[in-house]
Structure 1
């Protein structure tokens, strides 16, 4: 079977923690008297290694409605706890993690310039108990972009409510406060318009008709991004230039939700030449679905590789349809719906984080943004005390640190990740029972 190991171009060999934990966890199921097999690592990357990792490979995404809790603002003060945790990663990799403020609540959010607080969110437990589905943000929401020195951001605009039903201001109202906040100190990375548009036409709460397809999405997205850029040209003209106005797309929730991920490029989504990264989301499975276990779902490299395989197929297809556009996983975690107790919030999830991220790196994924949210069970940390959880780091954060430590300072050396064959083990994250098929 194959496990990912980081290889640094300056002839420094690093045995990443994933190779180590494979042996440690396998020990739980080793027959007594069996002797561990030694490994010799070749420091040269080899032709089968992944491409050189870009800076900020280890990055984060924050649920839009939770972003002020994680970041703070001028009223509450900066959240120094969160900032320190981000700096810990940045000190290892050479770049502070890139930050996305978006997610499902991005497409519920409306802007009220008279709102005296950063955000008002109303949770409807019957619809979604983990985050609000009625979200209003005020001017102080955008102060959160000033609280983490050196961070760079992707801000998400609401596409779901931009089709004329609700009026232009749900899309365009936040443009001025967002661009004014992000136009300072090189904070702006990219913009995002719409979240998980591949499920807009599905389910009980669909926001588009059943026949809405890729061509409809592209036409609507181009119209929306052009209107955002025009409004930005009035408020922040320096950010509306060809050099600065850059976007993520298509921000799909997955590869099999009904809309094809390659078709938008065939239908002209990059007609304006401003899509700089393919943005896709990934979860291993969902909270409450049948058969979810820590051992079988997360601590099983065979399962992890199989779940990621459709994304790798899409990325290869997009290499032809969108040449030169990196493929990034911009919202990632273990189990959607905020994670599952005793699966997403235990140290086994940290081991999965390490294995998953290095497998992405070995297979050409440009960057991974681990999703965070207030009170989310899969979160790497809880930014403040609430009635549901105390402030503090969670087990997944140590997986993030392990990934950062495995790849090292990406600004000082070219780092590529290669999968190594380990004949004596069955699973890279190691199922303690030894079940699971070896990878070819």
Structure 2
């Protein structure tokens, strides 16, 4: 929740637009002087993984060490592994069978349930959770449960799956259950027939939550409020809005228990066959369009926070369902991703999971050979690395505020600024120039003239760049002078760190940001060069020191040693 949530979600003391190529901003030196987010959990920027794609990302009988390393990188940057939502359409196809021991899924030859894709069409067993256990230690995991299945044994089925999660997840941390995926679409996909609306959904949700609590959670000493409600594709024009669900009894006590732990929403900036206008990379990089598309969710977020419950985006991405080559897998998309994380944080959204599938160009990495293309890290991953380092820079105290910074002319919709606070005081500025400029073009720049105040006079400021040859680049993105290997996910130095710049005797500083680039301007030290306290209490020296990275992979432990510690993370899903 925000300490104060302005309608526009903005931080600002003063701003003036001069020319199209520059802006002057006065930045609040303390978090108490402006509207800021609550301290971000280090797992804030996470991933969603489609259950049917889980074994592609983490491996089947053989662990996928490439994906595991990318995840571990991000954990080392932020101090905690990214939050994973194990869910999507396929969660409502899964049936758990204890006797099926393979680390894989198989079709259910006896499938008989309703649905365009039957609600009992996939069988998984203990190997499903063995694959989940390969994520870094203490990875928070939201497990999607099958609500679509409605046979006579539906309570037994869903409780069995929940029990298996409780029993088998020990290395990672079972964080919550999501009951059903996008129930607002269930008339269309034939999971339900009329009458079906938010009221009926609420009744079915609470009945399942009650059964799981009584049969599974309570005996295990786990709380009743372990369930994330809503999980809709959209609520616009439906009966699934938060206020409507509350009126239908979603937060009422059932047998003395309240079950809802968070409001869980799904969204995409653009979705094929849903959004009518064709999309271009230039559209994605016009950040005003993101605000326009997300305006409804700003309102829903504020409504949800007023209930005292967190609001999370467990399924989000630039383009759904599987991205678009040349748009969602470009450097321009990494700028969009970094901006979205910061924008969401400034609204009070407490967790964002970017959806990944093995066949999606919008996934942060491709975990294996697919369509003849080898495994590789995509530019989006670098945005995850950036936000993880920004969060880790505050060791659990990082707060984000949006600075009202806009461009005009060619820069209209392309300029964004955010302030990051650690222990309540200004720590860094994130400055984004998303004006599209391709590799072959000469590039201009936009200058941010910043007044940090007298508390920040004569201070060194270190610049970390999220950059590439151009907006359309597929493989030249770097962040903080680091590049991530397409072979093993480890980081190496791509270039030398730039020399710091210095504020004036009044705390003023001017920072030019090239077109199709973002910078993190950190005060007093280079981002990623200080110790980050991990969830297990271990310390890492950001991405600049040597370290041994230990990754638990079920029965074995793999140890990599690298002269440049970095961070990466990734998953995938299928919509």
In the alignment, which residue of structure 2 is the partner of 1:196? Answer: 182
In the alignment, which residue of structure 2 is the partner of 1:351? Answer: 335
Residues 375 and 389 in structure 1, CA contact (< 8 A), matched pair in contact too: no
TM norm structure 2: 0.62
Query: C-alpha separation between the residues in 1 aligned to 2:323 and 2:153?
Result: 32
Superposition pairs of residues 14-413 of structure 1, within 5 angstroms: 36-37=22-23, 41-45=27-31, 46-72=33-59, 75-77=61-63, 79-120=64-105, 134-150=121-137, 151-161=139-149, 163-164=150-151, 167-182=154-169, 184-185=170-171, 187-201=173-187, 203=188, 205-232=189-216, 237-242=219-224, 246-256=226-236, 258-262=238-242, 263-270=244-251, 271=253, 272-288=257-273, 289-320=275-306, 322=307, 324-413=308-397
Q: CA deviation at 1:171?
A: 2.2
Q: Which runs of 5+ in 1 are unaligned?
A: 8-29, 434-440
Query: C-alpha separation between the residues in 1 aligned to 2:382 and 2:9?
Result: 18
Q: CA deviation at 1:351?
A: 1.1
Q: CA deviation at 1:114?
A: 2.9
Greater relative contact order (Cα < 8 A, sep 6+): 1
Query: C-alpha separation between the residues in 2 aligned to 1:57 and 1:86?
Result: 13
Q: CA deviation at 1:298?
A: 1.2
Query: C-alpha separation between the residues in 2 aligned to 1:287 and 1:128?
Result: 19
Deviations 1:250-289 (A, max 9, x none): 1111232623321222222233323221110110121355
Q: CA deviation at 1:377?
A: 1.6
Deviations 1:110-167 (A, max 9, x none): 2233334233356xxxx999xx994221221111232123212111110011x33674
> In structure 2, do the counterparts of structure 1 residues 5 and 58 end up closer, same or farther at CA, with 3 Å as the change threshold?
farther
Deviations 1:183-223 (A, max 9, x none): x256111111111112112x2x2211233111111110111
Q: CA deviation at 1:410?
A: 4.6
Residues 25 and 405 in structure 2, CA contact (< 8 A), matched pair in contact too: no
> In structure 2, do the counterparts of structure 1 residues 154 and 239 end up closer, same or farther at CA, with 3 Å as the change threshold?
farther
Residues 281 and 326 in structure 2, CA contact (< 8 A), matched pair in contact too: no
Pair member with larger Rg: 2
Higher strand share: 2
Query: C-alpha separation between the residues in 1 aligned to 2:355 and 2:122?
Result: 19
Residues 284 and 297 in structure 1, CA contact (< 8 A), matched pair in contact too: no
Match of 1:174, SS? helix
In the alignment, which residue of structure 2 is the partner of 1:25? Answer: none
Query: C-alpha separation between the residues in 1 aligned to 2:361 and 2:394?
Result: 30
Residues 152 and 188 in structure 1, CA contact (< 8 A), matched pair in contact too: yes
Deviations 1:378-416 (A, max 9, x none): 110112223453212112111222222344435343422
Residues 95 and 411 in structure 1, CA contact (< 8 A), matched pair in contact too: no
TM norm structure 1: 0.79
RMSD: 3.2
Query: C-alpha separation between the residues in 1 aligned to 2:199 and 2:266?
Result: 21
Q: CA deviation at 1:54?
A: 3.1
Match of 2:363, SS? coil
Higher helix share: 1
> In structure 2, do the counterparts of structure 1 residues 368 and 128 end up closer, same or farther at CA, with 3 Å as the change threshold?
farther
Query: C-alpha separation between the residues in 1 aligned to 2:120 and 2:324?
Result: 20
Deviations 1:76-101 (A, max 9, x none): 23x22222211222222222111111
Query: C-alpha separation between the residues in 2 aligned to 1:246 and 1:303?
Result: 35
Query: C-alpha separation between the residues in 1 aligned to 2:106 and 2:172?
Result: 30
Match of 1:238, SS? coil
Query: C-alpha separation between the residues in 2 aligned to 1:409 and 1:377?
Result: 30
Query: C-alpha separation between the residues in 1 aligned to 2:52 and 2:333?
Result: 24
> In structure 2, do the counterparts of structure 1 residues 194 and 99 end up closer, same or farther at CA, with 3 Å as the change threshold?
same
> In structure 2, do the counterparts of structure 1 residues 252 and 216 end up closer, same or farther at CA, with 3 Å as the change threshold?
same
Residues 105 and 133 in structure 1, CA contact (< 8 A), matched pair in contact too: no
Query: C-alpha separation between the residues in 2 aligned to 1:211 and 1:172?
Result: 25
In the alignment, which residue of structure 1 is the partner of 2:427? Answer: none
